[in-house]
Structure 1
């Protein structure tokens, strides 16, 4: 597989799976496994940062009106809806930030072709999606306790195979939060976290293994545009309570991976 085609595939996979509840990290690991990519996580750090930047930008584009409204409220320097929402986002980031800092070395080893782990975590993701689809519809908004619990779900979703959007949206819906508000909060809460993770990777990462500008550009564009499509589509699916179809997908992928690994040993 050529480097350009590999970058295109990784970009499409990242763009789709960052927003669709099927685990972007898990699918990137599966993609590398299928194409026999033996590079370590740190060897592809620059591409990883680039793809995350693309999906963060895609989120900003989709929710540009919401973000502009929040920033406008913050600039008034008074307590209002935007200020509260921003603080809720910050509160939700704390669990994942703690896990990311304290267990960074351990987490890195989990992103090194741990395919069986990915398969079992996809099953967990599927079960969460099934439960969320069966939850009752409400019009509740996110409160402080909800933000902490959703943040814990996001921290757990650092594991490859646990979908971040699937875990946070499912947790929100199971807490009785309105489905559209759940999706909005889930996608907006990840932007500062992605930017923070990118900054950390840029400061601490080893970029001795170079990736060409063309590869990075192809990966970025692919992740950005597919990310926009996936984000808009996901919002509609959450409102219609159609997450169970992604649960079926997670189960099927997990079963295929486990079968291949079992037969290959």
Structure 2
């Protein structure tokens, strides 16, 4: 679902990121609410079925809105579907890979990314470094989600969302 939304509404989504801090604030509140509800859900051993994967994919597509955390939306949706937190976090990080690869392919195809042979070594080093740091970050996040409560992340989103909204409203005068 995220690929379809991204391809169909790329320009509109990009425009939403331009100075729309109130929207970001409200979407952070939505993310916080999702995380809070997921934290209250009962753990079960539900597997990631095709229908669950599709629903989680819809959550990932919605997370293209500024302020909606992609991992927060997908992990929360998974947990609300009965998938345990560890599996939910792993699945969340796996399902972003096709989006990243697809985005790179599209950018290359559209000519937005180009490089010559002299840039191959620095690009390769950068790719390897970002891949390894990404693996480390994913491992750390899975461990964090497994050990802690999603409500801690919810509180962060609530505070950040309220600050964004208050900042915008106070500076509008």
Partner Cα distance (1:133, 1:127) in 2 = 10
1:114-263 alignment, distance < 5 Å:
114-204=20-110, 206=112, 227-263=134-170
Aligned residue pairs total: 167
Partner Cα distance (2:64, 2:51) in 1 = 21
- Compared with structure 1, are the counterparts of its residues 143 and 126 closer, same or farther at alpha carbon in structure 2 (3 Å cutoff)? same
What's the CA shift for 1:180?
1.5
| Contact kept in structure 1, 2:107 and 2:113, CA below 8 Å | no
Per-residue CA shift, 1:63-107, capped at 9, x if unaligned?
xxxxxxxxxxxxxxxxxxxxxxxxxxxxxxxx1111111111211
What's the CA shift for 1:178?
2.2
| Contact kept in structure 2, 1:169 and 1:183, CA below 8 Å | yes
Task: Confirm whether residue 113 of structure 1 aligns to residue 14 of structure 2.
Answer: no
Aligned to 1:97: 3
Partner Cα distance (1:221, 1:243) in 2 = 31
Aligned to 2:117: none
- Compared with structure 1, are the counterparts of its residues 261 and 243 closer, same or farther at alpha carbon in structure 2 (3 Å cutoff)? same
- Which consecutive segments of 4 or more residues in structure 1 shift more than 6 A? 216-222
Per-residue CA shift, 1:187-220, capped at 9, x if unaligned?
1111011110121123225469xxxx9xx89987
| Contact kept in structure 2, 1:133 and 1:241, CA below 8 Å | no
Which 5+ residue runs of structure 2 have no aligned equivalent? 115-119
Partner Cα distance (1:253, 1:223) in 2 = 27
What's the CA shift for 1:228?
3.6
Q: TM-score, normalised by structure 1?
A: 0.56
Q: TM-score, normalised by structure 2?
A: 0.84
Secondary structure of residue in 1 paired with 2:96? helix
| Contact kept in structure 2, 1:237 and 1:243, CA below 8 Å | no
| Contact kept in structure 1, 2:28 and 2:68, CA below 8 Å | yes
- Compared with structure 1, are the counterparts of its residues 103 and 255 closer, same or farther at alpha carbon in structure 2 (3 Å cutoff)? same
Partner Cα distance (1:169, 1:195) in 2 = 21
Partner Cα distance (2:156, 2:47) in 1 = 29
| Contact kept in structure 2, 1:125 and 1:163, CA below 8 Å | yes
Partner Cα distance (1:246, 1:205) in 2 = 38
